């Protein structure tokens, strides 16, 4: 029972960090979702809502990192809360790859949050905060290579993982800004935003799938392991989520976006994006379980 609690905390906190990485990517590449100019040119209500959303996401991510680390210590010590807070165990884990990962992830998320808060308070130009987010994103992506199975792999395998995580973060980081756009932007601007996002997503999502297949091929000696091992079955669940997300994205591009002519059509698109967000959250949880308690720990 105790290990179940620790594993649950590890999975949830890791999924929150994945969401935080997506949030950092979402803010850093906001202009690729259809905004070439500063967010200051957007409707005030939209700019305020989107800034508040990113602040919430970054705050949750900052909180999740130390909880994840303590849960890892608790699972390692197998001594309950006292083991998770034991100075000796904390020192051992702090100097391990898990500790190094927590330090890097904590630094990246705190930097992202402080950058956004300071930029909002002082009214920095969007380009300044975008550069800060790109730096935070680079550090966050680097953290994925510090522990687990991938830390023992070569440069090519690490680069494949970074590319895979980056594209997934770019895609998922766009979802809330797109949904908020459906509510706060004019219909024509929403249609333009969705069209430009779809154009960018075609190449990047295709790249993510190719990289994901290459990574999966390295994990199994034969295809039957996909159906006979816990790791394979969990990976199949992840693939199923990705497939569902791709079907929704295709429906957006081919049907819903071309039909955006009134608010009723925008509301229909918004509901579809909500489903996409739900599937994305499910995918992050499955990925967190896949890399934590089921099989090879790609972190």
Residue range 210-239, pLDDT digits in tens: 888 787 777 766 676 677 777 778 888 888
- pTM: predicted TM-score of the whole model, two decimal places: 0.89
Contact at 8 Å (CB) between 174 and 199?
Answer: no
pLDDT-derived band of residue 45, with 50, 70 and 90 as boundaries?
Answer: confident
pLDDT band at residue 39 under the 50/70/90 scheme: very low
Sign of the dihedral through C-alpha 204, 205, 207, 211? positive
Question: Token digits for 184?
Answer: 């706060």
pLDDT band (50, 70, 90) for residue 35? low
The pLDDT tens digits of the residues spanning 109-127 come to: 999 999 999 887 776 666 7
Average pLDDT of the chain is 85
Q: Would you state the pLDDT for residue 230?
A: 78
pLDDT digits (tens, 9 = 90+) for 156-198: 888 989 999 999 999 999 999 899 988 888 888 888 888 888 8
Show me where the domains of the chain are located. 2-294
What's the angle, vertex CA 235, arms to CA 286 and CA 223, rounded to 5?
Answer: 175
Higher pLDDT, 100 or 224: 100
pLDDT tens profile 265-286: 999 999 999 999 999 999 999 9
Nearest to 26, CA basis, from 160, 158, 166, 173? 173
Greater pLDDT, 232 or 19: 19
pLDDT band of residue 299 (cuts 50, 70, 90) is very low
| Percent of the chain's residues with pLDDT above 90 | 41
How many Å apart are CA 30 and CA 41, to the nearest integer?
A: 13
The secondary structure of residue 164, as a DSSP letter, is H
Beta strands in 55-94 (DSSP E): none
Kindly state the percentage of the chain with pLDDT values over 70: 90
At residue 90, the 3 state secondary structure works out as: helix
Q: What is the pLDDT of residue 98?
A: 92
CATH architecture of 2-294: Up-down Bundle (1.20)
More confident residue, 185 or 148: 185
Stretch 71-81: mean pLDDT: 86
Question: Could you tell me which of 72, 70, 75, 67 has the C-alpha nearest to residue 85?
Answer: 70
Q: Which long-range contacts (CB under 8 A, 24 or more apart) does 162-166 make?
A: 163/207, 163/208, 163/211, 164/208, 164/211, 164/212, 164/215, 165/21, 165/141, 166/25, 166/137, 166/141
Angle at 153 (CA atoms; ends 292, 283), nearest 5 degrees: 35
| Statement: residue 254 has pLDDT above 60 | yes
């Amino acid at each position: 029972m105790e290990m179940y609690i620790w594993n649950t905390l590890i999975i949830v906190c890791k999924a929150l960090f994945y969401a935080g990485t997506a949030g950092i990517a979402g803010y850093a590449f906001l202009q690729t979702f259809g905004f070439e100019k500063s967010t200051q040119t957007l409707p005030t209500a939209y700019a305020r809502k989107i800034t508040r959303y990113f602040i919430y996401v970054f705050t949750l991510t900052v909180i999740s990192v130390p909880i994840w680390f303590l849960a890892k210590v608790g699972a390692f010590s197998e001594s309950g809360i006292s083991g998770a807070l034991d100075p000796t165990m904390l020192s051992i884990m702090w100097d391990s790859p898990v500790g190094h990962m927590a330090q890097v992830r904590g630094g990246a998320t705190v930097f992202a949050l402080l950058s956004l808060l300071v930029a909002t308070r002082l009214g920095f130009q969007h380009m300044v905060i975008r550069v800060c987010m790109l730096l935070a994103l680079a550090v966050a992506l680097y953290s994925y290579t510090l522990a687990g199975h991938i830390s023992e792999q070569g440069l090519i395998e690490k680069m494949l993982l970074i590319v895979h995580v980056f594209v997934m973060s770019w895609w998922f980081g766009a979802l809330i800004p797109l949904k908020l756009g459906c509510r706060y932007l004019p219909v024509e601007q929403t249609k333009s935003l969705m069209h430009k996002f779809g154009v960018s997503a075609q190449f990047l999502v295709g790249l993510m799938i190719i990289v994901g297949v290459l990574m999966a091929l390295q994990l199994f000696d034969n295809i039957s392991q996909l159906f006979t091992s816990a790791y394979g079955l969990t990976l199949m669940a992840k693939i199923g989520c990705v497939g569902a997300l791709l079907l929704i994205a295709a429906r957006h591009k081919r049907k819903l976006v071309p039909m955006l002519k009134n608010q009723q059509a925008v509301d229909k698109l918004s509901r579809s994006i909500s489903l996409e967000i739900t599937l994305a959250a499910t995918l992050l949880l499955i990925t967190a379980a896949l890399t934590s308690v089921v099989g090879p720990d790609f972190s």
